[in-house]
Amino acid sequence: MTSRRILVETKNLSKDPPPGISATPDEDNCRYFHVIMAGPKGSPYEGGLFKLELFLPENYPLCPPSVRFLTKIYHPNIDKLGRICLDILKDQWSPALQIRTVLLSIQALLSAPNPDDPLANDVANMWKNDEEEAISVAKSWTRRYAVMDS
């Protein structure tokens, strides 16, 4: 049984999608979303299109959605499995937040990596010790994994 809240959020996402983000529910499971997120302008991820998956647990909105990157990305707060270190996906979750808020927060994280709260320690160390090189690697990974050739 799908909660009314999920139906309303899904409708709002399709009617008024967040800028640079599309979130489409799976045709077989309305709790599972296919997400495409454009890398934010001015970030090392600019020009990239990143695939993510978002899943709403049975007890949503009392528990946060689980979200992960399917596209490889070089970022101190995203590990090799695509898991994301973001406070609202953990202890700062509130039922007042919505899918839209979560996706916009992840997009903002791409613009402002936080190497002081890392999920990928090697990337965070690079970001802290040689930010210029870390940004260069992030841009290179974006070109390699997140840019679709026409």
**Helix, strand, coil: what percent of the chain each, to 5?**
35, 20, 45
Annotated catalytic residue, options 85, 106, 120, 146: 85
Which tokens sit at 14? 């399709």
Cα(73)–Cα(57) distance, integer angstroms: 25
Residue 59 is inside which H or E element, if any?
Answer: none
Read off the amino acid at residue 56. Answer: L
Handedness of CA 130, 114, 35, 104 (dihedral sign): negative
85 tagged catalytic: yes
Tell me the catalytic residues.
85
